[in-house]
Amino acid sequence: MLYCIMQKLLVQACCGPCACAPMPINDYCTMFFYNGDNMDTRNEYDARFYTLQTVADTKGIGIVADYYTGPKEFDTCQDCIRYRLRKCAEAVKRNDFDCFTTTLTVSPHKDTVMVNRIGREVAVEYGIPFLEFDLKKNNGFQASVQKSKELGLYRQKYCGCAKSVRQ
Ligand code: SF4
């Protein structure tokens, strides 16, 4: 299904490769990058921001971003994801967007049901719509890999935090 959204949509994305996932929406959106507190190093933060900038430039869309503040530990991945989606919801309100979503479900390492549940809970908390997708569907992950190779993007081998490096 194609969502023809003429509303202003904010899309949380942790990197360019995830943002290459084919999404059933048009390109009338803005990317939201909030990795300043979960990347293990400044270099990693910069590398991922650069890949997202490349994808955004290709699509001709903008990015709302934070800045690097240094890593802090989250007890669980659910806490970390909830924190990022809350920040996205706050940016929706602050910048007058209408709704939000995330590219996190494209990763084979992320539980789609869990991500969408957190998105729904954050939506209720902030009183704004969350668009649910399962971007792994229809070979979405493979398509994102292919597209990111075409664009020559850096593809990280870990999720981002120091814990994920060890894992
Ligand atoms: S592994 Fe990824 S989702 Fe989990 S806490 Fe680390 S950065 Fe966050």
Burial of 121 (0-12, 13-18, 19+ CB in 10 A): middle
The helix, strand and coil proportions of the chain, stated in percent and rounded to the nearest 5, come to 45, 10, 45
160 lines ligand 1 (CB under 6 A): yes
80 close to ligand 1 (CB < 6 Angstrom)? yes
The residues with which 109 forms a beta bridge, in sequence order, are none
Do 49 and 154 touch, CB atoms closer than 8 A?
A: no
- Span from the CA of 4 to the centroid of ligand 1 (angstroms): 32
Structure tokens at 135: 């971007």
C-alpha of residue 159 to centroid of ligand 1, in Å? 6
Buried-exposed string 39-65: b where 16+ CB fall within 10 A, e elsewhere: bbeeebbebbbebbebbbeeeeeebbb
At residue 2, does pLDDT exceed 90? no
Please give the Cα distance from 103 to 22 (Å, whole number).
10
Q: What is the pLDDT of residues 62-103, one digit of tens each?
A: 999 999 998 888 999 999 999 999 999 999 999 999 999 999
Instruction: Among 80, 87, 158, say which to mutate for ligand 1: greatest number of ligand atoms within 8 Å of CB.
Output: 80
- Residue 9 pairs in a beta bridge with 29, 99
Domain 27-162 has CATH 3.30.450: no
What's the pLDDT score for residue 3?
Answer: 52
* Full-model pTM: 0.94
For residue 5, pLDDT over 90 is answered with: no
C-alpha dihedral, 125 to 131 to 135 to 137, nearest 10°: 110
Q: Is the CB of 39 under 6 A from ligand 1?
A: no
Q: What residues does each domain of the chain span?
A: 27-162
